[in-house]
């Protein structure tokens, strides 16, 4: 079955379709040894030889997408020299080699996406993506309204001012507040550092939403494959559609 060249390139993880179109127009793509400059050129994946900047593209393996409720005490990685438990240990029957998209701290829990779709991973984790992530955060003490406004407007951290966030006070239990915080950045331990900056360290942190995905009623350690409409929504959020 034939396929448009830029779509095949995007499936192989070269870049977004729009960027692939530009690579074709710039003369950086060869099909069967011939430079092709016309986006929309149709090829036969698996039969035609496509080379981008000297790199031979191979027919990608089946892409899979899983949503996991990461428990606390697991590392968002596929290997660890210290021998700590890994999120991939929770998906032992998945045959494909999958990778977590972004990170959740070792002591954090909640929604984690795992996939072998390299293009989607790069798009979702790139600073320009601005895909929203929502967290339920139990903090020590009860922040003042002024402190919550600071979180929402932007907090000065060691690596610069944070972007505006959506912040709400959900509940108070035993003198500690439960906050819901939505951010559009992906800095290391960002939510924890934001809360520390206003003098209310995090006691427990759970991610409940990632872009169009919602953790729902999943329990710690559970995982499932994404549905087709969820995959399309993710691709749209990453501007890959």
Active site residue 159: no
Catalytic entry in 89, 93, 105, 171? 105
- If residue 3 lies in a helix (H) or strand (E), which one and from where to where? strand 3-4
Half-sphere exposure of 175 (CA within 13 A, CB side): 2
Bridge partners of 161, per DSSP, are 156
Structure tokens at 67: 């949503």
- If residue 121 lies in a helix (H) or strand (E), which one and from where to where? helix 118-125
**Residue ranges with strand state E in 97-145:** 99-100, 109-115, 133-139
Q: Which backbone phi and psi does 52 adopt, to 5 degrees?
A: -120, 115
Cα angle for residues 56, 27, 2 (degrees, 5° grid): 60
Count CB-CB contacts under 10 A for residue 201.
11
- If residue 11 lies in a helix (H) or strand (E), which one and from where to where? helix 5-11
Active site residues: 105
């Amino acid at each position: 079955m034939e396929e448009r060249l830029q779509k095949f390139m995007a499936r192989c993880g070269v870049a977004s379709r729009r960027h692939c179109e530009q690579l074709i127009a710039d003369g950086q793509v060869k099909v069967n040894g011939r430079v092709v400059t016309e986006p929309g050129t149709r090829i036969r994946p698996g039969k035609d030889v496509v080379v981008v900047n000297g790199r031979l593209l191979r027919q990608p393996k089946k892409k899979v997408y899983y949503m996991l409720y990461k428990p606390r005490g697991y590392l968002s990685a596929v290997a660890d020299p210290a021998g700590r438990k890994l999120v991939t240990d929770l998906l032992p029957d998945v045959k494909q080699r999958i990778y977590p998209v972004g990170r959740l701290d070792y002591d954090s829990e909640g929604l984690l996406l795992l996939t072998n779709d390299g293009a989607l991973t790069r798009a979702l984790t790139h600073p320009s993506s601005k895909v929203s992530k929502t967290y339920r955060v139990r903090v020590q003490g009860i922040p003042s309204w002024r402190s919550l406004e600071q979180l929402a407007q932007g907090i000065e951290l060691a690596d610069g001012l944070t972007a505006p966030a959506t912040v709400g006070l959900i509940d108070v239990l035993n003198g500690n507040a439960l906050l819901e915080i939505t951010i559009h950045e992906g800095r290391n331990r960002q939510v924890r550092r934001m809360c520390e900056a206003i003098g209310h360290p995090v006691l427990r942190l759970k991610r409940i939403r990632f872009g169009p995905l919602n953790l729902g009623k999943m329990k710690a350690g559970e995982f499932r494959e994404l549905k087709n409409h969820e995959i399309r929504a993710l691709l749209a959020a990453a501007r890959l559609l």
